[in-house]
Structure 1
Amino acid sequence: MKAKIPSGRPSLNRNRVAGEHLRIALKMLGKKWRRDVEDTRHVLNWESWIACGLPRSPTTIDTDIREGIPENRIADYAHCLGIMPELFISPQTDMVKVLADSLSTDDGRTPSMVLGYKEAFPKRYVEHNRQSYMQELFALMNGVYRMHYVLQGVELIHRCTVWVYDVEAYRLLLRGRFSMFGAENEFNGNMFRWHNNLHVHYLCQNEMELGYTMTVDPLRHNLVKRRSPFWLKGQGLTDRGLADNIPIIFTYRMEMLPLPDGMTHEGLWRQECKAVLEQPFFPPGSPEHGALWAQVLSPDDLLS
């Protein structure tokens, strides 16, 4: 009697430990893997996932997590997560600790504002601002912006220019310039993500005005990410720079400018700095005031 020849695909040797470790890692990184592929948090929108040649089918991913990862994909999953394959498949591995250590390698650039929070702040900070995420954010936001802002209780529309010019570990770097009370003010800032928002700490070169702004993270809102031209709205708080020291609250809208042919970002930045100096604000009654006022202060329909 002839032996029965098996039909269909050969069964895969799967590692259940690695599957569970993958589930823990994706949860820790805030990633999704099921049907909602349009979500910016989905692994199919993760640059490292695609670069490592990992599965594009949510069904396959879910099977790898529930039933175990096939041996021929273990190294690729481990590489994507930045850990050794031996640790990825070992039942002795504390996946939370290993991944946290991998994300929080101390290179001297972790934020300093963590006193009093013990390990909670730096751990979450590096989770939110891992290298792959910041590179993706920089690819979207790199450029020169024209900003208009309105101070609380003031009818003037002030101008500012912002240049998001570089990415480092855990943050984007930006420069800005505005003119207030006839004095030109240049500032430097750090942009980072916390949960679903982007935060900016900035300090003027006079070292007197320390400011803070918050806006939505466009990578967490797909419709915002796809805006063309790209723009964001947000809120800010800064020192007044006057004797009474009352903080200033302001609302702003910033729009990325197209880069003219043959011009560098730095060249465009300097051009915008000159324009800010020449006309630092738009008073009520000026031709531009009405439209700009509506742009800055109207609700953001995509987020309401």
Structure 2
Amino acid sequence: MRNWSEWVENGLPSSPTTIDCDMREGVPESRLSAYASCLGTTVDGLCSKRTNWAKKLKGPTISEGDDNLLWPTGLGEEFSKRNKEYNRPSYIEELFSLMGGVYRMNYLIDGVDLIHRSTLWVHKVEGNRMLTRGGFIMFGNENQYEAVIFRWHNNLHFHYLCENGMELGYCMTVDPLRHNLVRQRKPFWLLGTGMTDRGLVDNKPITFVFRMEQLVPETGMSLKELWNTESDDMRKHPFIAPGTPDYERIRTEILTPDVLTPEVA
């Protein structure tokens, strides 16, 4: 919806069934002017075949480097100052040299025994953040997503948005550059916690815990080839069920508390 508050103010229907009926069977004359106003046109423009709706509904263009979708606004100068401090380009480049690559993520949703799988690729640095793409299967449907990773204090924050535009998720994990034991792991892996929509009727947010491990490509294999291979395997085996091989081992890996400091004898 381009502008939900304006939609409501114009008295337009909130029921998807009514909106769908208007689209299929035609808009009642009593709602024509309201639809036109909300869509930024006139009744004549709404009915004209010459109106370029693809362009009109696209809305404002957002450049690749626009931070408006990532950084909260209205938090004052301190936020901007800290953001530049924590995410200076040289630091993000160092972080990418460690974290860049393809990952196998296994995660446990709160209250669900199945271990779900996701594949993600930390593929690029863009100024003060890293760009990531990924995918997972939920309810038999594949969900592709784009994500950004940035640092705040001693942690990394992930924002991801699914391709369908319906699921906006959030994850946190430790910043490996702030913890020497984590930085030295081979293979490299991280534990973390996330929150998102589950897509059920009750619309309640859910939490999940995850373990993501960096994969090492075989000799001669590019990261893109590794990404494609791992994504294909994830599609074939989107989750690990109780009782199947490796279930208990992987579940234990996800749930075992992280060790961030050397153990003292």
Q: The TM-score by the shorter chain falls in which range?
A: 0.7 to 0.9
Identity %, equivalent residues:
54
Aligned pair partner of 1:196 in 145, 154, 168: 154
Aligned pair partner of 2:128 in 132, 145, 170: 170
1:302 aligns with 2:253: no
Match of 1:256 in 2: 214
CA contact (8 A) 2:121 2:134 kept: yes
RMSD: 1.5
CA contact (8 A) 2:198 2:206 kept: yes
1:147 aligns with 2:94: no
Runs of 4+ displaced beyond 2 Å:
107-114, 301-304
1:206 aligns with 2:164: yes
Q: What stretches of structure 2 of length at least 5 have no aligned partner?
A: 1-63
Match of 1:227 in 2: 185
Aligned pair partner of 1:159 in 93, 117, 120: 117
DSSP-derived class of the 1:241 partner = coil
CA contact (8 A) 1:110 1:122 kept: no
1:78-127, Cα deviation, whole Å (9 max, x unpaired): xxxxxxxxxxxxxxxxxxxxxxxxxxxxx954455332212121211111
1:118 aligns with 2:76: yes
CA contact (8 A) 2:65 2:126 kept: no
| CA gap 1:132/1:231 in 2 versus in 1, 3 angstroms | same
1:207-257, Cα deviation, whole Å (9 max, x unpaired): 000000000000000110000000000000001112211111000000000
Aligned pair partner of 1:129 in 75, 81, 87: 87
CA contact (8 A) 2:197 2:205 kept: yes
1:43-94, Cα deviation, whole Å (9 max, x unpaired): xxxxxxxxxxxxxxxxxxxxxxxxxxxxxxxxxxxxxxxxxxxxxxxxxxxx
Letter in 2 for 1:142: G
Q: Greater CA radius of gyration, 1 or 2?
A: 1
CA distance in 2, matches of 1:250, 1:193: 20
Letter in 2 for 1:179: I
- The within-5 A match list for 1:92-111 is 109-111=66-68
More displaced stretch, 108-117 vs 200-209:
108-117
Aligned pair partner of 1:279 in 237, 251, 254: 237
CA distance in 1, matches of 2:117, 2:178: 27
DSSP-derived class of the 1:251 partner = strand
CA distance in 1, matches of 2:260, 2:81: 31
Aligned pair partner of 1:238 in 185, 196, 200: 196
Letter in 2 for 1:114: P
Aligned pair partner of 2:224 in 266, 280, 284: 266
Letter in 2 for 1:225: R
Q: What stretches of structure 1 of length at least 5 have no aligned partner?
A: 1-106
DSSP-derived class of the 2:111 partner = coil
Letter in 2 for 1:120: E
Letter in 2 for 1:209: E
1:272-297, Cα deviation, whole Å (9 max, x unpaired): 11111101001111112110110001
**TM-score, length-scaled by structure 2:** 0.72
DSSP-derived class of the 2:95 partner = helix
DSSP-derived class of the 1:138 partner = helix
- The within-5 A match list for 1:1-80 is none
CA distance in 2, matches of 1:242, 1:269: 29
Letter in 2 for 1:163: W
Aligned pair partner of 1:187 in 116, 121, 145: 145
CA distance in 2, matches of 1:302, 1:176: 27
CA contact (8 A) 1:197 1:215 kept: yes
CA distance in 1, matches of 2:108, 2:172: 15
Letter in 2 for 1:291: R
Letter in 2 for 1:183: N
